[in-house]
Amino acid sequence: MNILGTGIIFSRGLGVAALENALRAGWQPPDEIDLPRSAGLKRLVYQVNLDAVPDKTLLKKNRRSDKLSKMAVLAAADALADSGIAQTADKRIGIILSTAFGAHVTTFDFLDGILDYGEANVSPTTFSNSVHNAAAAYISSSLNIKGPTLSITQFRFSFQSALQLASAWLQQGRCDYVLAGAVDQYGAVLGYVADQKLCSAPDGKIKPFTFSPTCHVPGEGAAFFLLGKAGPENMYCSVTAIHTGAEPDNPNPPDIDIIDADGMLPDESAYIAALRHGIPATSYSPVFGSMMITSAFNIAAGALMLRNQSCYAAPVLDNPHNIRLLSESGKRAMKQIRCTGYNCYGDKSVIYLGRD
């Protein structure tokens, strides 16, 4: 299964060019936002600024949708355009959207509307946007895609499940291409829960290689990929393996290890044993923020690195365990990148990216 196009929207912008610029620039401080119902208290968040999107055409077409759906549509459209495939209306394209929390911000808005105005007067638009499949439906209607459409909502490994399903659809011939990705949105309730359960980074800096205690800074965004069985020479790379649970032995060690460690677990020390001796490691979660779909953003970074045969230094180099970090950016011959993540139950996820 090959990655033919990549689309992304995150706190630093929209598109692969914004991703590459952010990886080159490294860590930058997150935004400061006011906490609701508090006296001047602030929270650090990596937020997406939709007002900064240069082309508002899709946003105008989806003006009634919520922020989650807008981010999903923009990233999916960007992946489709980035692939360079012409006349997509004639192609059989499936859509798989994965998310950890879905439209939770809109759902809470809908519940607030019931409390404030009663069931008879609550906004029907807010209700329709609170349905978890709404974002995928907006992608389908906005991009005129008529293939199978599915949303996957689960707290951890939702993106990995989307990739596994995309591979099955392509192998079974259900689709010519699959537009698969992940999206999540920051919300005040999510921020409150994270403050209570996790260790927030007071300086806004996620430190992936401290492992425990971890440093959490909420993030949001969307990353989508156009996947196909065959691809042009300028494709990004192949998704060669997707494992959840036990990882089979791989006789070919990766050139680079990318870990998801982003502060979403109270203890991330399991990553120490997952890293292979002598292989340079990195994590780009300090660029994107803490999310349960961080894997999708790291896959976007890994795919870009393989296509360009260029590596990007770890944005935060705090390293008390003396891990061999990828400390410098530059040209680098690479054939395989491994992306590793853990969930709150200690289950392991591994995605291998390869390019001949």
Task: Confirm if 185 and 217 have CB atoms less than 8 A apart.
Answer: no
Task: Confirm if 222 and 208 have CB atoms less than 8 A apart.
Answer: no
Domains of the chain: 2-354 (3.40.47.10)
Read off the tokens for 109: 């808005």
Task: Confirm if 110 and 116 have CB atoms less than 8 A apart.
Answer: no
| pLDDT digits (tens), the chain, 356 positions | 999 999 999 999 999 999 999 999 999 999 988 877 666 778 899 999 999 998 888 888 888 888 999 999 999 999 999 998 877 777 899 999 999 998 888 887 778 778 877 777 778 877 777 788 889 999 999 998 988 999 999 888 999 999 999 999 999 999 999 999 999 999 988 888 888 888 888 889 999 999 878 889 999 999 999 999 877 777 999 999 998 877 777 768 899 999 999 988 888 988 998 888 889 999 999 999 999 999 999 999 999 999 999 999 999 999 988 899 998 899 999 999 999 999 888 889 999 999 87
pLDDT in tens, 242-253: 988 777 777 688
CA 23 – CA 46 distance, rounded (Å): 15
Task: Identify the CA nearest to 214 among candidates 270, 253, 162.
Answer: 270
CA separation, residue 242 to residues 67, 91, 228 (Å): 30, 26, 16
Task: Identify the CA nearest to 17 among candidates 4, 29, 6.
Answer: 6
Q: Is 196 helix (H, G, I), strand (E, B) or coil?
A: helix
CA 117 – CA 131 distance, rounded (Å): 20
Pseudo-torsion of CA 96, 97, 101, 102, nearest 10°?
-110
Read off the tokens for 160: 């990995």
CA 138 – CA 269 distance, rounded (Å): 39
